[in-house]
Structure 1
Amino acid sequence: MTDTTRMTTATPWHLWVVGVLAAVWNGFGCFDYFMTQTRRDEWFAQMGMTEAQLTYFNAMPAWTHAAWAIGVWGGLLGAILLLLRRKLAMPVFVASFLGWAAGAVYAVALSDGMEAMGSMWPMQIVIGAACLFFIWYAWTMGKKGVLR
């Protein structure tokens, strides 16, 4: 006689909190990306961007937009995978972080992005920290056997 039951780890309440927060956070990033790609001038005007910010943003190379897409859509997919309790959430969150990192390298080292963005640049640090938190959380839940 073989035991066909499988040991499962209960889903902790905080997984749902982190997963929903990750989905909302990254969902807004996806919305911002979509609006920027489809209604750029309208969207930027609504956000109150300065002329320097508009000039900087409109001069960004295509690869930065691709990195941004990987960052935000990867983050949303990672959140969904986390809510589904899939181990794949962690590497998807890593891909999201790498998308953010590529954009940050462009803004800091390859352009005048930090100067152009003015008081908006600290948001980049917040975004990077959120990415790292989601990676750490998914990794931790994977190690604890919560993700399968």
Structure 2
Amino acid sequence: MVSIMSDTRSGRTPWHYWVVGVIGLLWNSYGPFDYTMTQTGGDAYLRGVGMTDPQIAYLHAMPVWMTGVWAIGVWAGLLGAILLLARRRLAFPVFVASLAAFLISLVYSYGLSNGAAVMGDTALIMNGVILAGCLFLVWYSRMMAARGFLR
């Protein structure tokens, strides 16, 4: 019986590797786009994606260190996806860095600020989806490195 997680003895990269890699790249491309547009497009961009005035004010009040954490999270996610597609072991620690930055952003949003109240239930659901994606990519890149698919 052939396993879905075939090993290096077969000499072939499993089909799911490319599916996860491409979906990971597409998924992790939005964060840097959103970050860049938020930084350069200003309020017009934020209103265009449906944010309210209190939500926009919340983003403007975010401390500089939190903006840095946000940047690390999204750019590391994109780099991790590129490294995964390039079959590099470095994908795993880069995905871990992205996850760590996201977890810090959750602590800020839900523990150190009024982000939960301002951003609402939709943001809570989206943060759950993002967390699941981060955890999956950390697990998957670790597993692919352990199986010898990443160099």
What is the TM-score when the length of structure 1 is the normalising length? 0.92
Question: Shift of the alpha carbon at 1:40?
Answer: 1.6
How do 1:1-148 and structure 2 match up within 5 A? Answer: 9-119=11-121, 120-148=123-151
Q: Distance in 2 between matches of 1:9 and 1:130?
A: 28
RMSD: 1.3
Question: Shift of the alpha carbon at 1:112?
Answer: 0.3
Q: Distance in 2 between matches of 1:64 and 1:46?
A: 23
Residue ranges of structure 2 left out of the alignment (5+ in a row): 1-8
Runs of 4+ in 1 over 4 A off after TM superposition: none
Q: Report percent identity of matched pairs.
A: 52
Question: Shift of the alpha carbon at 1:121?
Answer: 2.1
SS of match in other structure, 1:39 = helix
Deviations 1:50-82 (A, max 9, x none): 122112111000111111111111001000110
CA change 1:8–1:63 in 2 (3 A) is farther
What is the TM-score when the length of structure 2 is the normalising length? 0.90
Residue ranges of structure 1 left out of the alignment (5+ in a row): 1-6
Q: Distance in 2 between matches of 1:138 and 1:50?
A: 37
